Chains A and B, each alone.
Chain A
């Protein structure tokens, strides 16, 4: 709930110039979070219930984000989780929501 408020505050201040990068470990959760920061909180439990921020949202494993990361930092901080989780499924789950609801996505 607190994170939703933070995203809401940032989204209202910077609009769709603000990018959300998710680190969720399961595709189902990633999809819900992606929907929350684009179309609004589907569970109607938090501050983003009924609020469509339409923010561009990516999973950290999305190739677009990975290309922006320092390879050394990636190796040190992320590469282990790449072996543990399902990076493609996670990126795809977020992509589905992004394509439906996000504006100002990275070309």
Chain B
């Protein structure tokens, strides 16, 4: 079995969702229901950034591949006050797109199989026309937006919300639809839960569609999908039974694929990558797409602090990504399966133990040292979002820990720590969407930099806060290496005739010398 697989392609998308977020993001939604934070709720809309501003925001363009990682790294700090020029602020980047909110609502409606999404008729018609302009949105998806069962009069929408526990959908301050409740009593099928799951599905679909485009793969040829978000889809009998993967593959037209979900909080995507790579390396699957949609509850998660400090509330995008894993053919960046970071149950939760398990131990087992990795990509949260909320600069804290461990393990001298941090660290550019920043946003940029010969090796690190589910106090983490490809060694075989000819030639040479 091979210990390497090829990373054929990747996609990264954002769905701008400020109005959905300001109503149904976890923090505003909780504040609304507590009835105690009216001042914050009244102020939040004044702190929302426009779609145009989001397009010009450097971390967003870095995420969708509108600018290279090196361009991003060279930018002055304070991205929010230093918008990118128009020519670098397009909707579509090399990896994916930043979709506006009205189209996202249309896409959510297209992903609905159970008449759970009702859009106001005129809105649905207008948004279907806009969606039709998107190069990855298929005709079939556009038609789904216009299904009569998903289009209703405003009065019907109002009745559904008032009388049957639906939730309004908004655009430009107006009601444009609703999400309906899936069951009168089941807590797992409330309109809020279904909105979260349908948005996760829709954003995952967008990432998978871009992956098919970026890879040039016919959707019919996709073999398997592993979905790795943090959402839970199910009903009261099986609260998170799944299966997002198959639901996403269906809308994306991947008729020959099957799929399953992998969960692990923020460590989910790295675990999913390892799972996918193992299936491809073993020959169990011809190819696997690792996909994750994003999270509505994470929108405006830290906005209390942003409002309090009179800053823009930047957590307004649902993030998604997809990576296509195929057998290694020596031409594309590879993911190694023989050098995996594994945070064991017995490792403990001390940062030192976690960092060692995810970096030092796998590197040591492969005969490598800290400086052999050109770039470390741990949790890649955008620090312009997290610092005002008191959560610090997460990627910087992580690379500092790696550097300190490198000093302890005598891989570098202590005075070289800052140089190591600058040279081997990565700056966060991902939205605080839980699993989305977990190392994986750098896969695309790492592959680009490897293909351009700028780096040889990157480590992707994901860490998960398992305690949030109240099942265990343990943390989790996993890591893997991406490397430049090497020519694949092929075993040469000789036919009997060729061997006979070689023997005869050698024997005649020997005979010639004897005579």
Which B residues are CB-close (under 8 A) to A25? 392, 397
Instruction: Let me know if A81 and B404 touch, CB within 8 A.
Output: yes
A28: which B residues are within 8 A, CB to CB?
390
Choose, from A8-16, A51-59, A61-69, A71-79, the stretch at the interface: A71-79
Known: A25-B392, A25-B397, A84-B401. A79 touches B350 (CB 8 A): no
Q: How many residues of A contact B (CB 8 A)?
A: 12
From A29, A77, A83, contact of B348 by CB (8 A)? A77
Complex Cα distance A78/B350, Å?
Answer: 8
Q: Contact at B390–A81, with CB atoms within 8 Å? A: no
User: Which segment, of B10-18, B215-223, B259-267, B351-359, faces chain A?
Assistant: B351-359
Contact between B407 and A83 (Cβ–Cβ < 8 Å)?
yes
**Measured CA separation A77–B349 after assembly (Å):** 9
C-alpha spacing A105/B96, complex, angstroms:
58
In the bound complex, residues from chain B placing their C-beta under 8 Å from that of A81 are: 351-352, 401, 404
Q: Is B414 an interface residue (CB 8 A)?
A: yes
A25-B397, A84-B401, A84-B404 as given contacts; A79 in contact with B352, CB under 8 Å: yes
Shortest Cβ gap from A89 to chain B (Å): 14
Q: Is the CB of A26 within 8 A of B390?
A: yes
In the complex the two chains form, what is the Cα distance from A8 to B467 in whole Å?
A: 21
Check A83–B414 contact: CB distance below 8 A: yes
Taking a contact as CB atoms under 8 Å apart, the answer to whether B404 and A76 are in contact is no
Does B466 sit at the interface, judged by CB under 8 A?
A: no
Complex: A76 Cα to B401 Cα, angstroms: 14
Chain A: minimal CB distance from B39 (Å): 15
Chain A residues contacting B390 (CB-CB under 8 Å) are 26, 28-29
Q: Which residues of B contact A (CB under 8 A)?
A: 348, 350-353, 355, 390, 392, 397, 400-401, 403-405, 407-408, 414, 417
Give the 5 A-B residue pairs with the shortest CB-CB distance, closest first. Answer: A83-B404, A80-B352, A77-B350, A84-B400, A80-B404
Having A78-B352, A80-B404, A84-B404, one finds 8 other A-B pairs with CB under 8 Å, namely A77-B352, A80-B351, A80-B352, A80-B405, A81-B352, A81-B404, A83-B403, A83-B414
